[in-house]
Amino acid sequence: MAYKIGVISGDGIGPEIVAEARKVLDTVAERYGHTFAYEEILMGGCSIDATGEPLTDEAIAAARASDAVLMGSIGGNTATSPWYRLPPDKRPEAGLLKLRKSLNLFANLRPAYLYEELKEACPLRADIIGDGFDMMIMRELTGGLYFGERRTEDVDGVLTATDTLTYNENEIRRIAKRGFDIARKRRKKVTSVDKANVLDSSRLWRKIVEEVAGDYPDVSYEHMLVDNCAMQLVKDPRQFDVILTENMFGDILSDEASMVTGSIGMLSSASLNDTKFGLYEPSGGSAPDIAGKGIANPIATILSAAMMLRYSFDLDAEADAIELAVRQVLRDGYRTVDIMPQEEEKRASVKQVGTGGMGDRICERIK
């Protein structure tokens, strides 16, 4: 099969980590007989330098014309970079917000997976971790409290701020369908998280999720209140497969879930719309402190490329091959500096590699 991949290398470590993901994709293409054609798209600081805008209309058109977009990261040092002396709508991150909005990317997926080999970085007790956990947070990204009407006003001499949380049934239905679709590709369990004991928006959420669940008899589901879910994530993370939730709850829970893996730099993410299109990127930022040193960990970006194969191209076997290769390379003892063990005696049992070295090891394993 032939696919057109838009590539936003971006700023800082972005170009370094994306180069490794492309190397891995090329290896997959060769082994499985696919063709991946790449088109470089400017976004972020590099686009400001070249065009004066963080994202041009031509760049949006190029992203739209792609089957999927693979991204590194954008932005610079927020204290020292001249990009941050520009008005907010001209700064690097304005490009990303514009792209998400232009392409209607309403579903955000963030896996939280504990690697056996990196178990020591997990802050949870060994009996809680057991043989590890593997969950996916599916967060609604374009509605809810962050997009509702807001105002601050004087009410009888008292400053009063109001934010509104609105969801309509269509917004809930489309994200719920996405959540159940993803669960079908995994262990077939959805935990829908809300605050239905208090919020009307959550009661509608629950009603619509139940309707959608009726179309997925092969997927089991449960409802969980958000406060309970926050506790369960640290008490028994192994119970979760897909966590389906609204924007603000998902914002908070996805950070909590990624932290319990202990290695946030390993985590990929995807933002999807209601077609097969998706924007795939590592959870971390542009790490200006290590840019150009050849030491950035490319694994989150490589795993984002695997998500692209799975969710935009339906190439499950190819995605499995990348994920397996990453696990094998960790098992072989290769580590970038950010995931090196802290204790001296354990450091002797692993081999430190740079960005390119890690990419090469993963390609060798895929071959």
351 is known as an active-site residue: no
Task: Report how far residue 306's alpha carbon sits from residue 299's, in angstroms, rounded to the nearest whole number.
Answer: 10
CA distances from 140 to 144, 167, 215 (A): 8, 10, 20
DSSP result, 242-295: EEEE-HHHHHHHHHHHHHHHS-GGG-EEEEE-SSS-EEEEESS---TTTTTTT-
346 is known as an active-site residue: no
Sole window of 105-113, 285-293, 307-315, 318-326 interacting with ligand NAD (rule: CB under 6 A): 285-293
State which of residues 15, 54, 76, 250 lies at the interface with ligand NAD (CB under 6 A): 76
Contact status: 297 vs ligand NAD (CB under 6 A)? yes
Nearest to 29 by CA among 300, 304, 278, 309: 309
195 is known as an active-site residue: yes
Contact status: 278 vs ligand NAD (CB under 6 A)? no
Are 58 and 268 in contact by the 8 Å Cβ rule? The answer is: no
State which of residues 138, 233, 287, 303 lies at the interface with ligand NAD (CB under 6 A): 287
Sole window of 50-58, 73-81, 130-138, 164-172 interacting with ligand NAD (rule: CB under 6 A): 73-81
State which of residues 68, 284, 309, 362 lies at the interface with ligand NAD (CB under 6 A): 284
CB of 293 to ligand NAD, least distance (A): 10
CB of 166 to ligand NAD, least distance (A): 26
Nearest to 260 by CA among 223, 231, 286: 231
Q: Interaction with ligand NAD in 252-271: which residues (CB under 6 A)?
A: 265
Token pair recorded at residue 259: 């932290």
**Which among 26, 134, 181, 255 is annotated as catalytic?**
255
Nearest to 106 by CA among 277, 304, 302: 277
Contact status: 281 vs ligand NAD (CB under 6 A)? yes
Sole window of 117-125, 160-168, 244-252, 278-286 interacting with ligand NAD (rule: CB under 6 A): 278-286
276 is known as an active-site residue: no
Token pair recorded at residue 216: 């997925």
Task: Report how far residue 167's alpha carbon sits from residue 141's, in angstroms, rounded to the nearest whole number.
Answer: 12
360 is known as an active-site residue: no
State which of residues 289, 343, 344, 345 lies at the interface with ligand NAD (CB under 6 A): 289
State which of residues 73, 191, 202, 268 lies at the interface with ligand NAD (CB under 6 A): 73
Contact status: 114 vs ligand NAD (CB under 6 A)? no
CA distances from 50 to 11, 55, 91, 132 (A): 13, 10, 13, 45
Contact status: 304 vs ligand NAD (CB under 6 A)? no
CB of 80 to ligand NAD, least distance (A): 11
Task: Report how far residue 255's alpha carbon sits from residue 264's, in angstroms, rounded to the nearest whole number.
Answer: 9
CB of 114 to ligand NAD, least distance (A): 18
Contact status: 296 vs ligand NAD (CB under 6 A)? yes
Are 257 and 295 in contact by the 8 Å Cβ rule? The answer is: no
Task: Report how far residue 254's alpha carbon sits from residue 332's, in angstroms, rounded to the nearest whole number.
Answer: 29
Burial class, 13, CB count within 10 angstroms (exposed 0-12 / middle 13-18 / buried 19+): buried
Contact status: 286 vs ligand NAD (CB under 6 A)? yes
Q: Interaction with ligand NAD in 306-345: which residues (CB under 6 A)?
A: 338
Q: Interaction with ligand NAD in 8-47: which residues (CB under 6 A)?
A: 13, 17
Contact status: 93 vs ligand NAD (CB under 6 A)? yes
Instruction: Say whether 220 sits in a helix, a strand or coil.
Output: strand
Contact status: 357 vs ligand NAD (CB under 6 A)? no
**Which among 146, 177, 188, 189 is annotated as catalytic?**
146
Task: Report how far residue 303's alpha carbon sits from residue 299's, in angstroms, rounded to the nearest whole number.
Answer: 6
Question: What residues are annotated to the active site?
Answer: 146, 195, 227, 251, 255
Residues in contact with ligand NAD by CB under 6 A are 13, 17, 73-76, 78, 93, 96, 265, 281, 284-290, 296-297, 300, 338
